[in-house]
Structure 1
Amino acid sequence: MTAHPRIAILTSHGQPSAPPPPEIHLAAVAAAVQDHLPGWEVRSATLSSKGFLEAAMPEDGAVIYPFFMARGWFTGKVLPKRLAGWRYRMATPFGLDPALPALTVTALQDAIATRGWDVTDTDVLLAAHGSARGPKAAEAAETFAATLRPSLPGLRLTTGFVEQAPFVDAAARPLGPRSLCLPFFAQSGAHVRHDIPEALAQAEFKGDLLPVLGALPGVPALIAQAICRAETAELSASPAKTDTELP
């Protein structure tokens, strides 16, 4: 008898105004993760594509992987509400994975060495989302920055946010030409493609903009390991939606 594969589902916010491109990108990430998880079926669904997450859910026991940077509004409120009625296991959000800082340190060291700079003469701006809904998003970015600093002694590392102070343009304005802007994002959505470059241009930023953390080469293996860790967690069970909650 053939064993049924275990199911993991990658989910992210997506883009409500144009759902297909983020959906396609997330599916590509899921395919890369699949290579590290024999015996699993790795699916994907953004929250912005109506019904996609619900259609991806098996009857019982999926591991949900939040491709988010924090335990904020979407992971703490929106996602559990969407999963009402299912039993599932929730993995650690991408931005809180304990293995992510080491990957980031390596990427920064490589970026600095490639440019022929010295770590002690380099500025890094961690450009994060932030949120007017609550402190979780900013706290995740600040904690991540604090985790990086001991591994990069002498590096000047600051944070800036898209949706709260200190804003990206203000944080970038005093930085010199030997500067890197690292987007604290899982995917290259509108904030990364438009808002952050516009803020850097407004600040007359003379450094370089790096790819998002979700694009680091080791990310698919990191996600696969997080899914395996989550498999041993207790099943979560959200109550079924009431008639007043049904869309």
Structure 2
Amino acid sequence: MSRGLVLFAHGARDPRWAEPFEAVAARARAADPALDVVLAYLELMAPSLLEAGRQLAARGCTDVDIVPLFLGAGGHIRRDLPQLLAQLEAELPTQHWRLHPPVGELPSVINAIAAAALGAAASGRRDLAEPTAPPEADE
């Protein structure tokens, strides 16, 4: 049984927005070379979740985890993602699709964000013109 992992992000018009997500995918690939990792997007970027699922199925992945790279379970996670998952299951019924909660709800991520915020606060004020993070997603 071949394993796959879809990292599912929102997407944005600015391709630089995807850089942190690409870094997550690269680290996941490096940490587990046997795992076929694909980064997919809800909108504005490619591949879509359906395209990513098709890619993994074509490469022989039969057991696929889908991890939303969202901070919380808003409308996209509660409404859009279940519909997309149902389409995947209908189109590719021989694959086992396992949907996980958004990463932002995991205790390890909450702890990491809190630590980063505290570290930023401890380091003092930064110039607001200095870039500190990728552009926000277009919603």
Match of 2:137 in 1: none
Q: Quick check: 1:182 aligned with 2:78?
A: no
Equivalent position of 2:29 in the other structure? 149
Q: Rg bigger for which structure? A: 1
- Looking at structure 2, the residues matched to 229 and 167 of structure 1 have their Cα atoms a distance apart, in angstroms, of 35
Structure 1 counterpart SS, 2:122: coil
Q: TM-score, normalised by structure 2?
A: 0.73
Rounded to whole Å, the distance in 2 between the matches of 1:166 and 1:220 is 28
Query: How far apart, in 1, do the equivalents of 2:10 and 2:107 lie?
Result: 22
The match for 2:86 is 201
Q: Which residue of the partner structure matches residue 132 of structure 2?
A: none
Q: Distance in 2 between matches of 1:237 and 1:197?
A: 41
TM-fit CA distance, 1:136: 2.8
2:124 is aligned to 234
User: Does 1 or 2 have the higher relative contact order (CA < 8 Å, sep 6+)?
Assistant: 2
Over 6 Å off, 4+ runs: none
> Any gaps of 5 or more consecutive residues in structure 2?
129-139
Equivalent residue pairs, number: 119
Match of residue 47 from structure 2: 166
- Structure 2 letter corresponding to 1:126: L
RMSD across aligned positions (CA)? 2.2
